[in-house]
Amino acid sequence: MYFARKPLYLGPYGNPDSLRLYSQLVERWQAGGLAAVASQRVLRLYADILADKFGPIALQAVRSAMIADDLCRNVVNASVHRIRRIFRWADRNELLPETVWRALLSVPALAAGEEGVRESEPIRPASWRQLRAVLRHAPQQVRVIVKLQFLTGIPCRISPNVMPGRWAICASTLSERECVGDLFADRVDRIL
């Protein structure tokens, strides 16, 4: 599914865990989206102070609370960025002095591998069995591109901007990817 214009994989279709995650996302969206979720964390800790008193130490405390809630690094960094954007919006609309959101920029993003911060699970490639189930419902152009990617290992993307009104496959060459002909033939044999 797509959430906030980004692809999001929730798990196998019909799986109870994926249905639960989908329900949670719909609830968040109905409650005002991810910006509302991020601001709720700020309000939970700092509802009793004025916005112009919210500074880098407070933002670090909110970030620590997110880490304590076992959110992964990517989600924590994205939430901190959203909080900064809320304060930037307030500055742009002359609700807060510029110094408030500028001070929040001094809080760095969490680095990969930082101690005590959970990393997100890596996204694994789909198996041929999973792809075959999806390809039955995909348009012909998408089927061709997905098969090309699976068979060759070439990362492809569909680009509508190459020629107006036409789609193009943008891909690196096999030699750039150091793919060997035997590997390609082996994948073809496995699928056929």
List the one residue out of 101, 82, 98 whose CA is nearest residue 37: 82
Q: Calculate what percentage of the chain has a pLDDT beyond 90.
A: 31
Place of tokens 């995909």: 138
Query: For the stretch 9-27, what's the b/e string if a residue is b when 16 or more beta carbons lie within 10 angstroms of its beta carbon?
Result: ebeeeeeeeeeebbeebee
Residue partners of 150: CB distance under 8 A and separation at least 6 = 128, 131, 187, 191
Q: pLDDT tens digits for 96-154?
A: 999 999 999 999 999 998 999 999 888 777 788 888 888 888 888 888 878 877 887 76
Could you tell me the pLDDT band of residue 21, with boundaries at 50, 70 and 90?
confident
Q: pLDDT tens digits for 26-55?
A: 666 655 566 666 788 898 899 899 999 999
Residue partners of 30: CB distance under 8 A and separation at least 6 = none
pTM: 0.56
Beta bridge partner(s), residue 6: 3
Give domain limits for the chain: 31-104, 128-191
Q: Residue 27 has what pLDDT?
A: 67
Q: Residue 180 has what pLDDT?
A: 41
